[in-house]
Structure 1
Amino acid sequence: MSTAQNKDLLLKYNKEVIEKGDMAFFQQIAATDFINHSAPEGMSNKIDGVIYFFSAIIHTALTDVTVKVLDMVAEDNKVATRKEITGIHTGPLFGKPATGKKVTIKVIDIFTVFDGKLKEHWGENNFASVIQSLH
Protein backbone atom coordinates (compact mmCIF):
# COMPACT_ATOMS: atom_id res chain seq x y z
CA MET A 1 0.00 0.00 0.00
CA SER A 2 1.09 3.57 -0.54
CA THR A 3 1.71 5.99 2.30
CA ALA A 4 -1.51 7.78 1.27
CA GLN A 5 -3.47 4.53 1.62
CA ASN A 6 -1.83 3.84 4.98
CA LYS A 7 -2.81 7.31 6.20
CA ASP A 8 -6.36 6.76 5.00
CA LEU A 9 -6.49 3.49 6.96
CA LEU A 10 -5.41 5.32 10.12
CA LEU A 11 -8.01 8.05 9.57
CA LYS A 12 -10.67 5.32 9.32
CA TYR A 13 -9.28 3.66 12.48
CA ASN A 14 -9.56 6.94 14.40
CA LYS A 15 -13.11 7.61 13.15
CA GLU A 16 -14.61 4.13 13.23
CA VAL A 17 -12.79 2.44 16.12
CA ILE A 18 -11.92 5.21 18.58
CA GLU A 19 -14.72 7.68 17.88
CA LYS A 20 -17.61 5.35 16.99
CA GLY A 21 -16.51 2.29 18.98
CA ASP A 22 -16.86 -0.10 16.03
CA MET A 23 -14.83 -3.08 17.25
CA ALA A 24 -15.96 -5.29 14.34
CA PHE A 25 -14.26 -2.78 12.03
CA PHE A 26 -11.10 -2.99 14.15
CA GLN A 27 -11.11 -6.78 13.78
CA GLN A 28 -11.35 -6.33 9.99
CA ILE A 29 -8.39 -3.93 9.77
CA ALA A 30 -6.07 -5.54 12.33
CA ALA A 31 -3.63 -8.27 11.36
CA THR A 32 -4.33 -11.56 13.12
CA ASP A 33 -0.93 -11.27 14.82
CA PHE A 34 -1.44 -7.59 15.78
CA ILE A 35 0.60 -6.48 18.79
CA ASN A 36 0.18 -3.38 20.95
CA HIS A 37 3.62 -2.60 22.35
CA SER A 38 2.05 0.02 24.66
CA ALA A 39 -0.60 -2.14 26.33
CA PRO A 40 -0.89 -1.35 30.04
CA GLU A 41 0.44 -3.97 32.43
CA GLY A 42 -2.12 -6.70 32.94
CA MET A 43 -3.96 -5.97 29.67
CA SER A 44 -3.65 -8.14 26.58
CA ASN A 45 -1.37 -6.69 23.92
CA LYS A 46 -3.39 -8.40 21.18
CA ILE A 47 -6.59 -7.46 19.34
CA ASP A 48 -8.74 -8.39 22.36
CA GLY A 49 -6.90 -5.89 24.55
CA VAL A 50 -7.65 -3.02 22.16
CA ILE A 51 -11.29 -4.11 21.97
CA TYR A 52 -11.51 -4.24 25.76
CA PHE A 53 -9.89 -0.82 26.18
CA PHE A 54 -12.21 0.99 23.79
CA SER A 55 -15.46 -0.89 24.49
CA ALA A 56 -15.24 -1.62 28.23
CA ILE A 57 -13.30 1.46 29.33
CA ILE A 58 -13.46 4.43 26.93
CA HIS A 59 -16.96 3.97 25.51
CA THR A 60 -18.36 2.92 28.90
CA ALA A 61 -16.97 5.94 30.76
CA LEU A 62 -17.23 8.60 28.04
CA THR A 63 -20.01 9.77 25.74
CA ASP A 64 -19.81 12.05 22.73
CA VAL A 65 -16.32 10.73 21.94
CA THR A 66 -14.55 12.62 19.17
CA VAL A 67 -11.07 12.34 17.71
CA LYS A 68 -9.24 15.32 16.28
CA VAL A 69 -6.10 14.35 14.36
CA LEU A 70 -3.71 17.28 14.75
CA ASP A 71 -0.77 15.85 12.80
CA MET A 72 -0.17 12.77 10.68
CA VAL A 73 3.12 11.66 9.19
CA ALA A 74 3.72 8.54 7.11
CA GLU A 75 6.88 6.94 5.83
CA ASP A 76 7.23 3.49 4.31
CA ASN A 77 4.87 1.26 6.33
CA LYS A 78 4.65 3.49 9.44
CA VAL A 79 2.03 6.10 10.23
CA ALA A 80 2.27 8.46 13.22
CA THR A 81 -0.57 10.59 14.51
CA ARG A 82 -0.81 13.26 17.18
CA LYS A 83 -4.40 13.61 18.26
CA GLU A 84 -6.88 14.58 20.93
CA ILE A 85 -9.67 12.28 22.03
CA THR A 86 -12.44 14.15 23.82
CA GLY A 87 -15.59 13.00 25.55
CA ILE A 88 -17.92 13.69 28.44
CA HIS A 89 -17.23 11.67 31.59
CA THR A 90 -20.67 10.09 32.15
CA GLY A 91 -19.71 6.66 33.53
CA PRO A 92 -17.26 5.20 36.05
CA LEU A 93 -13.61 5.34 35.01
CA PHE A 94 -11.09 3.38 37.08
CA GLY A 95 -13.05 3.97 40.26
CA LYS A 96 -13.85 7.60 39.50
CA PRO A 97 -17.62 8.17 39.40
CA ALA A 98 -19.12 10.17 36.54
CA THR A 99 -18.42 13.90 36.82
CA GLY A 100 -20.05 15.24 33.67
CA LYS A 101 -16.74 16.93 32.85
CA LYS A 102 -15.33 17.15 29.36
CA VAL A 103 -12.04 15.28 29.19
CA THR A 104 -9.29 15.48 26.60
CA ILE A 105 -6.82 12.63 26.16
CA LYS A 106 -3.73 13.67 24.24
CA VAL A 107 -2.20 10.85 22.23
CA ILE A 108 0.76 10.19 19.96
CA ASP A 109 0.48 6.86 18.11
CA ILE A 110 2.71 5.02 15.69
CA PHE A 111 1.29 2.10 13.70
CA THR A 112 2.90 -0.22 11.21
CA VAL A 113 0.75 -1.32 8.29
CA PHE A 114 1.37 -4.55 6.36
CA ASP A 115 -0.82 -5.78 3.51
CA GLY A 116 -3.48 -3.20 4.35
CA LYS A 117 -3.76 -4.27 8.00
CA LEU A 118 -2.66 -2.68 11.27
CA LYS A 119 0.22 -4.84 12.49
CA GLU A 120 1.92 -3.05 15.41
CA HIS A 121 1.19 -0.10 17.69
CA TRP A 122 3.23 2.12 19.99
CA GLY A 123 1.68 5.02 21.83
CA GLU A 124 2.11 7.72 24.45
CA ASN A 125 -0.76 9.54 26.14
CA ASN A 126 -1.81 11.59 29.16
CA PHE A 127 -4.57 9.16 30.21
CA ALA A 128 -3.23 8.76 33.77
CA SER A 129 -3.29 12.53 34.38
CA VAL A 130 -6.81 12.73 32.91
CA ILE A 131 -8.01 10.11 35.41
CA GLN A 132 -6.28 11.97 38.26
CA SER A 133 -8.05 15.20 37.27
CA LEU A 134 -11.50 13.66 37.77
CA HIS A 135 -12.72 14.65 41.23
Structure 2
Amino acid sequence: MNNKEIVTKFIVKGYNDNDYDEVIKLLSKDYYDHSPASARSDEEAIGILKIVENSFPDMKVEVLDLIEEKNKVVGRFKFSATHSKEYMGIKATNKQIQWEAIEIFHISNGKITESWGYWPDTEIRNKLIDIQNRL
Protein backbone atom coordinates (compact mmCIF):
# COMPACT_ATOMS: atom_id res chain seq x y z
CA MET A 1 0.00 0.00 0.00
CA ASN A 2 1.37 3.44 -0.86
CA ASN A 3 1.06 6.43 1.49
CA LYS A 4 -2.04 7.88 -0.20
CA GLU A 5 -3.74 4.48 0.03
CA ILE A 6 -2.87 4.29 3.74
CA VAL A 7 -4.48 7.69 4.40
CA THR A 8 -7.54 6.84 2.30
CA LYS A 9 -7.95 3.54 4.15
CA PHE A 10 -7.61 5.35 7.49
CA ILE A 11 -10.38 7.80 6.53
CA VAL A 12 -12.71 5.15 5.10
CA LYS A 13 -12.22 2.58 7.86
CA GLY A 14 -12.08 5.16 10.67
CA TYR A 15 -15.01 7.41 9.77
CA ASN A 16 -17.16 5.70 7.15
CA ASP A 17 -16.97 2.09 8.35
CA ASN A 18 -16.06 2.51 12.05
CA ASP A 19 -13.76 -0.49 11.61
CA TYR A 20 -11.34 0.20 14.45
CA ASP A 21 -9.62 -3.18 14.12
CA GLU A 22 -8.43 -2.10 10.67
CA VAL A 23 -7.61 1.46 11.76
CA ILE A 24 -5.33 0.30 14.58
CA LYS A 25 -3.24 -1.58 11.99
CA LEU A 26 -2.60 1.71 10.16
CA LEU A 27 -1.31 3.64 13.19
CA SER A 28 2.02 3.37 14.97
CA LYS A 29 1.80 2.52 18.67
CA ASP A 30 3.31 5.91 19.53
CA TYR A 31 1.03 7.83 17.11
CA TYR A 32 1.04 11.55 17.95
CA ASP A 33 -1.86 13.83 17.04
CA HIS A 34 -0.83 17.49 16.99
CA SER A 35 -4.45 18.72 16.74
CA PRO A 36 -6.56 19.85 19.71
CA ALA A 37 -7.79 16.23 20.02
CA SER A 38 -4.25 15.41 21.25
CA ALA A 39 -4.11 11.62 20.93
CA ARG A 40 -0.76 10.31 22.12
CA SER A 41 -1.10 6.69 21.04
CA ASP A 42 -2.92 4.48 18.59
CA GLU A 43 -5.45 3.54 21.30
CA GLU A 44 -6.18 7.19 22.13
CA ALA A 45 -6.76 7.86 18.41
CA ILE A 46 -9.33 5.06 18.34
CA GLY A 47 -11.00 6.60 21.41
CA ILE A 48 -11.35 9.92 19.58
CA LEU A 49 -12.86 8.21 16.54
CA LYS A 50 -15.39 6.54 18.84
CA ILE A 51 -16.35 9.91 20.37
CA VAL A 52 -16.98 11.27 16.87
CA GLU A 53 -19.01 8.19 15.98
CA ASN A 54 -21.12 8.69 19.11
CA SER A 55 -22.17 12.20 18.03
CA PHE A 56 -22.31 11.49 14.30
CA PRO A 57 -23.05 7.75 13.87
CA ASP A 58 -23.72 7.95 10.13
CA MET A 59 -20.66 10.05 9.25
CA LYS A 60 -19.30 9.74 5.74
CA VAL A 61 -16.10 11.35 4.61
CA GLU A 62 -15.22 12.00 1.00
CA VAL A 63 -11.59 12.36 0.01
CA LEU A 64 -11.46 15.49 -2.16
CA ASP A 65 -7.69 15.87 -2.60
CA LEU A 66 -4.53 14.05 -1.57
CA ILE A 67 -1.08 15.53 -2.09
CA GLU A 68 2.06 13.62 -1.20
CA GLU A 69 5.49 15.07 -0.52
CA LYS A 70 8.21 12.76 0.75
CA ASN A 71 6.64 10.89 3.70
CA LYS A 72 3.69 13.25 4.29
CA VAL A 73 0.23 13.21 2.77
CA VAL A 74 -2.01 16.27 2.88
CA GLY A 75 -5.70 15.60 2.46
CA ARG A 76 -8.76 17.76 1.96
CA PHE A 77 -11.89 15.99 3.13
CA LYS A 78 -15.64 16.64 3.07
CA PHE A 79 -17.48 15.41 6.16
CA SER A 80 -21.25 14.73 6.12
CA ALA A 81 -23.23 13.43 9.08
CA THR A 82 -26.41 13.61 11.07
CA HIS A 83 -25.97 15.38 14.41
CA SER A 84 -27.54 12.61 16.51
CA LYS A 85 -26.01 13.21 19.95
CA GLU A 86 -24.71 16.19 21.88
CA TYR A 87 -21.59 17.73 20.35
CA MET A 88 -19.65 20.74 21.66
CA GLY A 89 -22.42 21.27 24.21
CA ILE A 90 -25.15 21.46 21.57
CA LYS A 91 -27.99 18.99 21.96
CA ALA A 92 -28.73 16.68 19.04
CA THR A 93 -30.56 18.37 16.17
CA ASN A 94 -30.98 15.15 14.17
CA LYS A 95 -30.19 17.21 11.08
CA GLN A 96 -27.53 16.73 8.43
CA ILE A 97 -24.39 18.86 8.62
CA GLN A 98 -21.38 19.14 6.31
CA TRP A 99 -17.94 20.68 6.59
CA GLU A 100 -14.49 20.43 5.05
CA ALA A 101 -11.18 19.92 6.79
CA ILE A 102 -7.53 19.62 5.87
CA GLU A 103 -5.23 17.18 7.60
CA ILE A 104 -1.57 16.24 7.24
CA PHE A 105 -0.36 12.70 7.91
CA HIS A 106 3.24 11.56 8.44
CA ILE A 107 3.80 7.97 7.36
CA SER A 108 6.81 5.85 8.26
CA ASN A 109 7.26 2.14 7.50
CA GLY A 110 3.65 1.83 6.35
CA LYS A 111 2.16 3.36 9.53
CA ILE A 112 0.69 6.76 10.29
CA THR A 113 2.98 8.14 13.00
CA GLU A 114 1.74 11.73 13.30
CA SER A 115 -1.05 13.97 12.11
CA TRP A 116 -1.90 17.64 12.09
CA GLY A 117 -5.47 18.60 11.43
CA TYR A 118 -8.04 21.05 12.56
CA TRP A 119 -11.74 20.73 12.06
CA PRO A 120 -13.41 24.10 11.59
CA ASP A 121 -14.94 23.89 15.08
CA THR A 122 -16.34 27.44 15.05
CA GLU A 123 -18.01 26.82 11.69
CA ILE A 124 -19.42 23.46 12.85
CA ARG A 125 -20.68 24.98 16.10
CA ASN A 126 -22.30 27.93 14.28
CA LYS A 127 -24.00 25.59 11.80
CA LEU A 128 -25.38 23.48 14.65
CA ILE A 129 -26.59 26.54 16.55
CA ASP A 130 -28.25 27.87 13.39
CA ILE A 131 -29.98 24.51 12.82
CA GLN A 132 -31.04 24.39 16.48
CA ASN A 133 -32.48 27.91 16.29
CA ARG A 134 -34.59 26.93 13.27
CA LEU A 135 -36.12 23.91 15.03
Same fold (TM over 0.5): yes
Q: Counting strand residues as a fraction of each chain, which structure ranks higher? A: 1
1 CA distance for matches of 2:126 and 2:49? 19
The residue identity in structure 2 corresponding to 1:101 is K
Counterpart in the other structure of 2:106: 112
User: What does residue 58 of structure 2 align with?
Assistant: 64
- 79 and 44 in structure 1: CA distance in 2 versus 1, 3 angstrom threshold: closer
Which of these residues, 19, 24, 30, is aligned with residue 22 of structure 1? 19
Q: CA deviation at 1:44?
A: 3.6
Per-residue CA shift, 1:43-68, capped at 9, x if unaligned?
54332332222102x11111321111
Residue of structure 2 equivalent to 1:50: 45
Alpha-carbon shift at residue 95 of structure 1 (Å): 2.3
Q: Does 1:7 align with 2:4?
A: yes
Q: Please list every run of 5 or more consecutive structure 1 residues that lacks an aligned counterpart in the other structure.
A: none
Aligned partner of 1:83: which letter?
F
- Equivalent residues in 2 for 1:64-103 (5 A)? 64-103=58-97
Give 2:28's aligned residue. 31
Give ranges in structure 2 of 5+ residues lacking alignment. none
Match of 1:123 in 2: 117
TM-score using structure 2 length: 0.86
Paired amino acid for 1:72 = L
> Shift of residue 124 of structure 1?
2.4
Normalised TM-score (structure 1): 0.86
Question: How far did 1:125 drift?
Answer: 2.1
Distance in 2 between the 1:44 and 1:50 partners?
Answer: 5
Identity of aligned residues (%): 26
**Contact 2:74 2:104 (8 Å CA) reproduced:** yes
The CA RMSD measured in Å over matched residues stands at 1.7
The secondary structure found in structure 2 opposite 1:105 is strand
